[in-house]
Amino acid sequence: MNKIACVGDRDSVRGFMAIGFEVHTANTLQEAEKTVRELAESEDGYPVIFVTEDYYNGMQPLISLYAEKTVPAIISIPGKNGSQGTGMAAIKALTEKAIGADILLNS
């Protein structure tokens, strides 16, 4: 069965349990990286892994390993301190790569 996982600090991710996500808390970047790697390589099936921006921004080498693969999709989400713009920047870069132009306004 495919599951959706969420990795981040406790305050940022605990609400995702209410909508059925499998929540994994991490207190350090190293814990978050280890968890994401384990989820990505798991046989349980995690096609989507959400990671809070604070950790996502710090684990770019790991994110790059999975960027060209179909699964898992590792997606940044805002943490408890609000958005840092990481998600929008990723969408903008993918859009530009796909169609060759920046079509997103106000970015």
The CA-CA-CA angle for residues 68, 69, 71, to 5°, reads 140
pLDDT in tens, 34-48: 999 999 998 887 999
Choose among 30, 20, 3, 16: nearest CA to 79.
16
Domain residue ranges of the chain, discontinuous segments joined by +:
4-81
Q: Pairing relation of β-strands 48-52 and 4-8?
A: parallel
pLDDT confidence bin for 80, thresholds 50/70/90: confident
Which amino acid is it at 88? M
Q: Which helix (H) or strand (E) holds 52?
A: strand 48-52
Q: Which CATH number is 4-81's, of 3.30.70.20, 3.40.50.10580, 1.10.1510.10, 3.20.20.70?
A: 3.40.50.10580
pLDDT in tens, 88-98: 666 666 666 66
